[in-house]
Structure 1
Amino acid sequence: MNDQALIEKPAWRWLESRGATIGLWALLIASESAAQLALKIGGDGLAAIPFGLEWLVAALSNIAVLTAVGCYIASFLSWMLILRRSSLSLAFPLSSLVFVVVLLGSWLGLGEHISALHWLGVWVIIGGIALLAEGEA
């Protein structure tokens, strides 16, 4: 068996499908957004501890911080797989959907107040992504 046959294993062909690409995008947006929300929760839990060695030990044992690290690993892996098949000029602007999901998550999950200007910003981001995607079609 030659090296080329090892690289082109049928088991990896699923990565080239449209469904896999959509799944990778969903994973990227969900994992990056979850990481941001988890860091906020973890940071709130560490607020009473002065920054120093004690804070670092507490951060490294904080479940929200550890969850964020795991989410960042998932987002890194999904981003690398997305970039295998997408142009950076389209992929990077699409990744700004994370801003929208974090805003929604902070509103729904953390009870943060979202101003009308923030909501307008969400629609500007979505509109910009739609324009960029239309330019790619």
Structure 2
Amino acid sequence: MRDSKSMDWLHGRVGTVVLWALLIILESAGQIATKVGGDQLGQMTFTLHWLQAVIVDPGVLFAVGCGIGAFFVWMLILRRSSLSLAFPLSSLVFVGVLLGSWLGLGEQISLLHWVGVAVIIGGIALLAEGEQT
């Protein structure tokens, strides 16, 4: 039997940070996998053949798995956070996708995009500060 104290970290601040990291990773990976899967499928018209190809594409299947995992992590986050803070914090996924597409897919990111990342992070910092007061 597990000692309940050994699982306390999951319900504290560390657990919340782990859940947020997991959500950002799952959502970002899912978006990148959707892009990769779509690129692998190429230009196809919306037909039964296209639908069959989508259903068995590894990138698309991985993206669906990430989406399902992210849904359950999101439910856990909402149990411990207010929606008015959690939803804006979820915009960190935009940062994760941008970084993932830059590092993993070699996409070029403009200076304006980096400024947008700074604005998102700054806005989240302001929201988090306001939540603590």
TM-score > 0.5, shorter chain as reference? yes
Residue in 2 aligned with 1:25? 20
1:83-102 matches, within 5 Å, as: 83-102=78-97
Residue in 2 aligned with 1:79? 74
Q: Secondary structure at the match of 1:109?
A: helix
Larger Rg: 1
Q: Secondary structure at the match of 1:48?
A: coil
Could you list the runs of 5+ residues in structure 1 that have no partner in the other structure?
1-9
Residue in 2 aligned with 1:136? 131
Deviations 1:32-72 (A, max 9, x none): 00000000000101123322111110011000000001100
Residue in 2 aligned with 1:44? 39
The one-letter amino acid of 2:122's match is G
Q: Secondary structure at the match of 2:105?
A: coil
The count of corresponding residues between Structure 1 and Structure 2 is 129
The one-letter amino acid of 1:133's match is A
Residue in 1 aligned with 2:114? 119
Q: Secondary structure at the match of 2:108?
A: coil
User: Structure 1 segments of 4 or more deviating over 3 A?
Assistant: 10-15
The one-letter amino acid of 1:128's match is G
**Partner of residue 35 from structure 1, selected from 13, 30, 33:** 30
Could you list the runs of 5+ residues in structure 2 that have no partner in the other structure?
none
Deviations 1:56-106 (A, max 9, x none): 100110000000011001100000000001000110011000000100111
